[in-house]
Amino acid sequence: MNQERVTVLVGREGRHLFETIRDPRIAVVSPGDGVETPDLVVLPCGQDRRFEQLSTMTMPETLRASVASGATGVVLDASPEAIPPKPDINNSLHDVIRKLGLSSRHCVYVTANWYFATDYLTYCKNAGIDDPVRVLHHDFWVWDSVARLAEDGERTYEERLSAFRARPAIRRRRFLSLNRTPRPFKIVLLLKLMHDGLWDAGFISFGGFGQDGKSGKPRPTAEQLTTALPAFADLIRELEPYIDELDRYGSVLLGLDHHGLKRLNQKLATEAQDLPEYDESWFSAVTETEMLARPQRITEKVLKPLVNFHPMLVFGNPGSLQRVRDYGFATFDDVVDESYDEETDPRRRFDMAYAELVRLCRMDDRALSDLEQRTVDRLIFNARWGLTRFPDIYRAQRDTALVNEILTSVRGRG
Given 120, 138, 156, which residue is the final one in a domain?
Answer: 138
Question: Does one domain contain both 233 and 98?
Answer: no
Instruction: Write out the chain's pLDDT in tens, 414 residues.
Output: 446 899 999 999 999 999 988 889 999 999 889 898 999 999 999 999 899 999 898 888 999 999 988 899 999 999 999 999 999 999 999 999 998 888 898 999 999 999 999 999 999 999 999 989 999 999 999 988 888 887 788 999 999 999 999 999 999 999 999 988 889 989 999 999 999 999 999 999 988 898 665 667 889 999 999 999 999 999 999 999 999 999 998 888 786 555 444 444 444 544 445 789 999 999 999 999 999 998 899 999 999 999 999 999 999 999 999 999 999 999 999 999 999 999 999 999 999 999 999 999 999 999 999 999 999 999 999 999 999 999 888 777 889 999 999 999 998 654
Question: Does one domain contain both 130 and 190?
Answer: no
Determine if residue 399 is left, alpha or beta; phi over 0 gives left, psi from -120 to 50 gives alpha, anything else beta.
Answer: alpha
C-alpha radius of gyration, the chain, whole number: 23
Question: Does one domain contain both 130 and 188?
Answer: no
Distance CA 11, CA 67 (A): 12
Question: Does one domain contain both 211 and 91?
Answer: no
Question: Does one domain contain both 295 and 157?
Answer: yes
Question: Does one domain contain both 101 and 200?
Answer: no
The residues, ordered by sequence, that sit 6+ positions from 285 with a Cβ below 8 Å of its Cβ are 175, 176, 177, 189, 202, 312, 313, 315, 357
Burial class (CB in 10 A: 0-12, 13-18, 19+), 125: exposed
Question: Which pLDDT score, from 0 to 100, does residue 265 have?
Answer: 47
Given 114, 138, 162, which residue is the final one in a domain?
Answer: 138
Question: Does one domain contain both 201 and 249?
Answer: yes
Cα atoms in the 13 Å half-sphere on the side-chain side of 253: 24
Question: Which pLDDT score, from 0 to 100, does residue 115 have?
Answer: 94
Bridge partners of 357, per DSSP, are none
Q: Is residue 400 part of a domain?
A: no
The residues, ordered by sequence, that sit 6+ positions from 210 with a Cβ below 8 Å of its Cβ are 216, 217, 218, 219
Question: Which pLDDT score, from 0 to 100, does residue 58 have?
Answer: 86
Question: Does one domain contain both 122 and 166?
Answer: no
Question: Which pLDDT score, from 0 to 100, does residue 21 have?
Answer: 87
In angstroms, how far is the first alpha carbon of the chain from the final one?
17
Q: Is residue 377 part of a domain?
A: yes
Distance CA 181, CA 389 (A): 30
Residue 55 belongs to what domain range?
A: 6-138
Question: Which pLDDT score, from 0 to 100, does residue 145 have?
Answer: 87
Q: Is residue 405 part of a domain?
A: no
Question: Does one domain contain both 97 and 220?
Answer: no
54 closest CA partner among 93, 88, 15: 93
Number of structural domains found in the chain: 2
Q: Is residue 98 part of a domain?
A: yes
Question: Does one domain contain both 168 and 264?
Answer: yes
Given 89, 107, 138, which residue is the final one in a domain?
Answer: 138
Determine if residue 315 is left, alpha or beta; phi over 0 gives left, psi from -120 to 50 gives alpha, anything else beta.
Answer: beta
Distance CA 302, CA 324 (A): 8
Question: Which pLDDT score, from 0 to 100, does residue 412 have?
Answer: 67
Question: Which pLDDT score, from 0 to 100, does residue 43 have?
Answer: 96
Q: Is residue 399 part of a domain?
A: no
Q: Is residue 375 part of a domain?
A: yes
Question: Which pLDDT score, from 0 to 100, does residue 152 have?
Answer: 86
Distance CA 124, CA 30 (A): 34
Neighbours of 368 (CB within 10 A): 20
Question: Does one domain contain both 108 and 156?
Answer: no
Question: Does one domain contain both 126 and 269?
Answer: no
Q: Is residue 413 part of a domain?
A: no
Model pTM score = 0.91
Question: Which pLDDT score, from 0 to 100, does residue 4 have?
Answer: 83
